[in-house]
Every structure is written in structure tokens, then in C-alpha cells.
Structure 1
Amino acid sequence: MILDLLFPNRCIHCNRIIDGHLIVCDICFEQIHFTHFDYSSENSLKEKCKLLFPIENAYALMQFEQENLSRKIIHQLKYRSREKTGKILADWVTENLDFKNKKPDLLVSVPLHPKKEKERGYNQLHLFTKTLSDFYGIPFEHHLLNRNHYSKAQALKDKKHRLETQNTFSLTKKISNQHILLIDDVFTTGNTLATIAWEVLKEGNNKVSILVMAVDE
């Protein structure tokens, strides 16, 4: 209680004091560019994925535009030790995403390299994925994939190096006849998710869908 008085929680955008379970105030929330995608229908993210790998469905919560608030939110989640932001983002997803009759069998988060996860202290997708799993009643797997190489953040790479993802990921066990929902924070070139998708699809009769916190249009 004393700490709350001395160090109150503040909106990450305008610095207004807000409740401890929030990350932005009501006014700034209205500035977030949500996609309002329909998971079961065609959308721009699905069209991007189709150019890279066979996909069933795709959903992005927000637009990841230059200098917009979604960029700041995800930056806080990944680089400012605000792991709880993952739960807040997942709660926003559950308010907007209806799987209808296309519910996946398993939620799989994109892994960090163990060295990077140790440096950061957490994987920014784990709490997000678990929250979705609890809400929708879909099992999750954080360790279906290995990230085989340590590298700097995608955001810090130039385009050429972002495309160099061969042999970056491998499956830790065989899977078959599963509809996998791959979960990541931001879709930029799509190369990371494409690399993972092909690892999943080359196994027996699997299907892949995508869910990301934000898509860079």
C-alpha cells in the first residue's frame, strides 16, 4: 500500500495515474489501433501468411504502426520488465476473438533462445499464451520448439538479416494430426513464423494458424 502511494502505477503513454492492473488510461486506450479482424474470415494478415506457407486462420490484435501506442505497449512488455502486460493483452484478445467452429488443438508460443530468456527474465509470450489457454480451454505448449541460435532482437536487424532464419527452430518432439495455433508478438516480414510453420507442417498431417499481438502493415 505504501509503495502504491510512493510509486503509483501510471499510464505508459500520458503518465496519468491509473489502477494497478492497467497499462494505459481510458483516454489513451481509445488511441490504440485494434484490427477488429475476424479469425475465421479473410484478412490482411492471412493474405500475408498465404504468400509464405499454407495457413488455416490468422488473427492480430493491433496494428503495429510507426510511433503508435501498440508499439510502445509491446516494447514495455519485451524490454521494460512488464510481464503482466502479456495478461492484459490476452484479456483484450478474449474480448474480440471468437474461434467459432475453428478452434485449434494446441497453442504454441514462439520460443526465445535460453540465453535471451535468462537475460530478459521471462518469455514475453508465456503469460499471454497461458491466459488464452485458461480462457478458451485449449492446452498450450511452451517447449514444443527449440530456438537453436542466439541472435539480437528482430527489431534491431536490417531486412537482410531478418530473412536469415534457416535452421533457427526445431521441434522437440513429433506431432501429428494437430491444428496448431502459433503465437508471437509482432508479425513483420513473417519469416520467423514461416520457418516455424514449415517445421510443424512437414510432420504428419498438421495444420497451422497464427495469432499475434500486432501486425506491421
Structure 2
Amino acid sequence: MMHPEWSFLADLFFPPCCPFCGKVIRHGEETCPSCADLQPKLMKKALPLKNGGAPFCYAIYVYQGRVRDAILRMKFADEPSVAPFFGRKLAQQLPTEVQPDVVTAVPMSRLHKRKRGYNQSERIARAAAAELGLPYRTLLYKAKKNRTQHRLSAVERFRNVQGVFAAKPAAKQKRILLIDDIATTGATLAECTRVLLREGAQSVLCAAVALAPEPDR
């Protein structure tokens, strides 16, 4: 635990901020009073996985309003500090019967990660793993380049991820919690699930911080 004096100095020079709006908050607070109403709510979305049943994805927010703003800042405005908050909240909301062996994240290409400086889904997943007391492992990688998903239609999203991901042998016989930042159509999570199961994973459970609003799914 951080010494109170060091905690005071850390807050003085690097004050904690509300993950949703960016306002400075007091030490020990998670959000500002204005954003305290944004409480996580566990939701489930079926994923379109062929030849392996119909797994689903857990999520805790809808991708709109201040949640959307926070995720966009995390992804595109160099604010990775938002990720641990989302990871902890996601882990806290998962049902107690969820008992994975390991946590992993949807990967980015090496070039994309180098340009951004981090993989936000990995940051979220690492925080979730720490909250759950589980190891984080990199079990997936991008085997080839593809187009950015958010500019594509639902049908194009599924085609765009086919054959893009590959799983590592360490996935064998593991019960895996797979985490991403946003689930829109579920195409990326479904494809990652497919390759993990093909590699020999015992099971894959998917979770995301936010689900796209219904008209966008």
C-alpha cells in the first residue's frame, strides 16, 4: 500500500480523473459526482459462431454518451489510464460461476500497436485478470492484415476478420476469458473464439466493456 505522503504527492502532481468525463476527482473516488449515475449493468449478447455452438459475450455498458466518449479517448486520445477502471468493473460484474483459467485479449497488429503505443483491450484484460486473481496470457495474434472494422457494414465485418487471427499452443485445454473493448456485430470475438477452440481450448467466454446500441449491431 502506498504511504499516505506519497499518495498525497501523487494526487498533487498526477491528480486522478473521472474515467467518463476527465474531471479531476478526489483520492479514493472512482468517478465524479456527475458521472456517478453511470453504473455498470451486466448484459449478454449471442455471438454468431458456426460449428461450435453459439457462445455469448458479456458486457457492462452500452456504447453511447459518456461511455462512448471515454472509450474513444482511451483508443484515440492517448488515455490508456481509463482501461484499468473498465477492466476492474468488468471483472466485478461477471457471474461468480464464471471460472476461467486464464484471461486474454483481442490482439492488434504489431504496426497498429506500435503506432498507438498500447493495445487498449490488453490493458482492460490485464486489469480484469488482476481483479479476478488470474494470469493474463497473450494467446492470440494477428496472422495477416485486414481493414479497420468500424468503417464496415455488418456483412463486411464478418468477411474482414476471416483468417486474420491465429492462436498459440498455450491455449490448449484452457478455459479462456477473452476480452475486447467494444462488441458491435460480434464478428471479431466470434472469429477469435473459433481459432482458440480450433487450437484446443477447453472453452472460451467473451466479455467486452460495451455493446454497440441496437441499430449499430
TM-score class, shorter: 0.7 to 0.9
Residue 129 (1) aligns with residue 129 (2): no
- How many residues are treated as equivalent by the alignment? 204
Counterpart residue number, 2:62: 63
TM-score (norm 2): 0.78
Q: Compute the displacement of 1:19 (Å).
A: 3.8
Q: C-alpha separation between the residues in 2 aligned to 1:185 and 1:51?
A: 19
Q: C-alpha separation between the residues in 1 aligned to 2:152 and 2:116?
A: 18
Stretches of structure 1 that go unaligned for 5 or more consecutive residues are 38-42
> Match of 2:40, SS?
coil
Moved >4 Å (runs of 4+): 1-16, 20-24, 50-53
Q: C-alpha separation between the residues in 2 aligned to 1:139 and 1:50?
A: 28
Query: What one-letter code is carried by the residue in structure 1 that aligns with 2:129?
Result: S
Counterpart residue number, 1:40: none
**Using a 3 Å threshold, how does the CA distance of structure 1 residues 21 and 123 change in structure 2: closer, same or farther?**
farther
> Match of 1:140, SS?
coil
Q: Is the 8 A contact 2:142 2:166 kept in 1?
A: yes
Q: Compute the displacement of 1:104 (Å).
A: 0.7
Residue 34 (1) aligns with residue 29 (2): no
Query: What one-letter code is carried by the residue in structure 1 that aligns with 2:86?
Result: L
**Using a 3 Å threshold, how does the CA distance of structure 1 residues 180 and 83 change in structure 2: closer, same or farther?**
same
Residue 165 (1) aligns with residue 164 (2): no
Stretches of structure 2 that go unaligned for 5 or more consecutive residues are 1-7
Quick check: 196-205 or 82-91, which moved more? 196-205
**Using a 3 Å threshold, how does the CA distance of structure 1 residues 189 and 15 change in structure 2: closer, same or farther?**
closer
Structural mapping, 1:65-84, within 5 Å: 65=64, 68-84=65-81
TM-score (norm 1): 0.78
Q: C-alpha separation between the residues in 2 aligned to 1:147 and 1:15?
A: 32
Q: C-alpha separation between the residues in 2 aligned to 1:23 and 1:201?
A: 37
Query: 1:140-162, CA deviations, whole angstroms, 9 ceiling, x for partnerless residues?
Result: 112x2111233453223344432
